[in-house]
Every structure is written in structure tokens, then in C-alpha cells.
Structure 1
């Protein structure tokens, strides 16, 4: 049985290698992979049924969702603002009069005066990740923001899609007790639903 520190060390090393690999992708390839990934999301039934969707602004060569967001302008799109150890969600669109801001980690965030979004308004969460596995577990950036969000009863029942490039979709990731499985994972090669785990 792996100890908590073994799992943490494994995650740290895996995160370092995968981020290195992601940042080595040529800009042209990153753009093409992001565009294909957006098409895969657009074809998903979880997306078709959703009206209010939480997303993210790409950082450090994460898959870029802006082509999807711009094309599906009939949806309400929400983006996170990082406050302390929590994420607060605000509706934002390219036509907003309020400028985006740079958050604590240098990631773009909506202006605090953009309309707030509460859990009951949200139909789907597109979750950024360093990696995901075939069981729906994700490797995040180590801050625990999405672990805390997805374990909160108000958010725990929301459908979630992990967003990664195909190279970062692994057979298995090291898993800790607090890790929350996602509903599905999407890469540029396709989207797959995650089988439900009994008792989770």
C-alpha cells in the first residue's frame, strides 16, 4: 500500500514531466490540437444538454477553449476568480464591457463585477488538468482548488469533463482519498465517459 508521501512524490514528478512535455508543443500543433479538442466537446451529449458551462482561460499551453466559447455564444460561460483557497465563478463573454484581470497566478480572470454564478445555475464544468486517466481521475496543479470545489456538496453532482491533450491521458494516475473522479475526459482524439465507481 502506497503512503500519502509516495503518492505526493509521484504526482510532483509526473506533473513536472507532463508540464514540460506540454510546453514543448509547437504553437501551430497546440492550435490544431486545441481546435480538434473543441470539436470533440461540441459533439458531446453532455455539452448539447448544457446551457450554463464553467470553463477556464488557457494558461501555460493548456488546451485553448476560446474557439468553442466564441462559436457557442448562445451559452452562458463562467470563468473562475481565485480568492484565497477558493474559486468564485462569474459569467463572462467576449462582448463584456468589463476587462479581464490577471489573477494571483498570472491567469486571466473575469472582473469581480461580472455577474456571479451559483451552483444551481450551472449545467457542466470543463475542468483543466495536467493529466487525466481512464478512470476519470485528474492530476491538477497542486493547489487543490478543483478538489475542494468538486467535493463540495453544492457542486459534487455537476457533470464534469476533464480537458487534456491525448499525450496526457494516461492509463492510471496515483490517486489519493480526496481525489474526485470526473464524469468524462476529452482530448483532441475523442471524448470518453467514465464508468461510475460504486460508492463514489
Structure 2
């Protein structure tokens, strides 16, 4: 009988694989993901988009931030994500986990204003479950009633788009997954 790989083991494996990408491979794959998003009606019709600043060689979405949308980025506050608006050129600060964040006094974005959430992932599967870093920030947010009907797209490289992930009862499915070769 084959032993199931744990989330922790899988996370470590995928992060090592991501880390092994050359800067050029990473940028090329990231640019292709941005092109996939730009060619989707989900992205084009959205006015307020929540995104993330890339860490640990996550797909880099920064080329999209020049597009005329209302952009929101998270700050980690008491184990929750609080969303602030941010536009290219505005100041950022180093936040929890060394992630760039909008300044604390940047305008808040309320859930009812949000059209689309681009969700960072370590891995995703064909059932649209995601593997994150293990902090539960996005699962907590997406299980909250005010966020449940928001369209979500998990952002992941092809090699981390897997047939099936180990899942727990609290894991929240995403609506779509975007890789450098398609939107699923």
C-alpha cells in the first residue's frame, strides 16, 4: 500500500522545485501566466482585483499592476487578511513574513467592492483545491460569508498543478486555476 504524502512534504517538494527555477525561467513562466489572465474575460470584466506581491518565487503578477483597475493587496493583521488599495508607485512596507504590504493608512477595500481574487498558491489540483504555506489565511477568509461568492483564481506554475492534493475539511475550493498554459 502506497503511503500518502503529507501537505508538509508536498509543500517542501514544490517549494524546492520552484526555488530551482532560473530567474529567466521564472520570469518567462510568470509572464505567460499574466498573458493567460489578460486574455480572460474574468480578469477583463473585473474592476476591483485583489492580488499579492510575489515571495519565494511565486508567479510574479507585477506586470498586471499597470492595468487600469482598482488593485487590492493584503496586510496580515491578527491572523486575518485585511485588504488595502494600492496603485503602482505608491509606497509599500515590509510586513509579516517579509511580504510587501500597502501602508497601514492606505484605503481599505471592503468585500462587497471586490470582483476577483488572484490567490497565491504553492500547488493546486484538478478539483480546484489549493495548497498554501500552511497559515490558513486564505481558507479563513474564503470561508467567511462575506467572501464566499467572490470569484477566485489560484495562480500556480504548471509543475505545481497536480491531479490531487491531500485535503482537510477546512480547505476551501477555488473557482479557477491559472497556469502558464491555461485557465482551468
Equivalences for 1:1-16 in 2 at 5 Å?
10-16=6-12
Provide Cα deviations, 1:130-154, integer angstroms capped at 9, x if missing partner.
Answer: 0000110000100000000000000
Provide Cα deviations, 1:97-146, integer angstroms capped at 9, x if missing partner.
Answer: xx201111001001011110000000000000000001100001000000
Aligned residues: 182
The alignment's TM-score, normalised by the length of structure 1, stands at 0.89
Aligned to 2:96: 104
What secondary structure does 2:29 align onto?
Answer: helix
> For the residues of structure 2 that align with 1:40 and 1:178, how far apart are their CA atoms?
29
Structure 1 unmatched ranges of 5 or more: 1-5, 193-200
The alignment's TM-score, normalised by the length of structure 2, stands at 0.96
Provide Cα deviations, 1:63-117, integer angstroms capped at 9, x if missing partner.
Answer: 00001112x1x10000000012000000001132xx2011110010010111100
Question: How far is the alpha carbon of 1:45 from its aligned partner?
Answer: 1.7
After TM superposition, what 4+ stretches of structure 1 lie above 6 angstroms from structure 2?
none
What secondary structure does 2:34 align onto?
Answer: helix
Match 2:83 to one of 85, 89, 98? 89
Equivalences for 1:1-200 in 2 at 5 Å?
10-70=6-66, 72=67, 74-96=68-90, 99-192=91-184
Structure 2 unmatched ranges of 5 or more: none
